[in-house]
Amino acid sequence: MTPPHALLSVRHLSKSYGGRRVLDAIDLDVAEHEVVALIGPSGSGKSTLLRCLNLQEDLDDGQIVLDGRDISDPRVNPDVARRSMGVVFQAFNLFPHMTVLDNITLASRVVHGVARADAEEQAHALLGRVGLADKAAAYPDRLSGGQQQRVAIARALAHRPRLLLFDEITSALDPELVGEVLALVRDLAAAGSTIVMATHEMGFAKQVADQVCFLDEGRLIEQGPPARVLGDPGHPRTRQFLSRIIDAGRL
């Protein structure tokens, strides 16, 4: 059963590639306005889980309910379901031949049928929100990596999604640019956005997340408040993973 408070509810989600189980019966509930951080070693299934939530991958088994609707039902149009979600990946995926303004407004105009003037007005407001009000006419190659990622986040916000999915959005950035992107995510969380994000930034997860989920070998090993999962984990595998993070000075 889906808890009445859950915006997103996942039940027994499983996915395999070539006989290898990469997600193994994942259960997850995300309340509205909640920030959930997915942590774990590389290859643990975090990115695959986000792609399944966005219906970019077919499920082998399980159910995804978003805003009370079973979007994993084969009769549901994935493109329609995705309109409730905004996704940002490791790579910025901006169109290099388009200005920042056109990158942000493209989906609103073409997919959602928003008039150009309205889409551009909203895009300018979003650029102000992400601290790039003066970059509307710039092309992506004239921006730093941190600026490009902030544009990608603005683009994800353009259609007012109910759920934001962030997949290691700082991993491709130089260390000095990570902070500006995380500051924006912190602002989004403070403003009430519902976010599920895969991250290696343990300190950020500790400060901002309402719930931390540790994945390993496709299984959701441990989940709960950051203070417990990151500060006093109950599972030996979680403790092992975090001890290496602490030794590396990342927590």
User: pLDDT per residue over 34-69, tens digit each?
Assistant: 999 999 999 999 999 999 999 999 999 999 999 999
Report the pLDDT value the prediction gives residue 37, as an integer from 0 to 100: 97
Count Cα atoms within 13 angstroms, Cβ side, for 32.
10
Can you give the residue range of the structural domain that contains 101? 96-161
Report the pLDDT value the prediction gives residue 14, as an integer from 0 to 100: 97
The token pair at 55 is: 């219906």
In-domain check, residue 113: yes
Handedness of CA 38, 5, 129, 81 (dihedral sign): positive
Give the SS3 label for residue 187.
helix
pLDDT in tens, 80-90: 999 899 999 88
Report the pLDDT value the prediction gives residue 218, as an integer from 0 to 100: 96
In-domain check, residue 178: no
Task: Name the nearest CA neighbour of 220 among 12, 51, 6.
Answer: 12
Please name the residues in contact with 40: beta carbons below 8 A apart, sequence gap of 6 or more: 46, 214, 215, 216, 221, 241
In-domain check, residue 174: no
pLDDT exceeds 80 at position 165: yes
In-domain check, residue 106: yes
pLDDT exceeds 70 at position 247: no
In-domain check, residue 7: no
Report the pLDDT value the prediction gives residue 250, as an integer from 0 to 100: 59
Based on the structure, what is the number of domains in the chain? 1
The CA distance from 168 to 116, in Å, is 31
In-domain check, residue 79: no
In-domain check, residue 116: yes
The model carries a pTM of 0.92
In-domain check, residue 200: no
If pLDDT is split at 50, 70 and 90, which confidence band does 245 have? confident
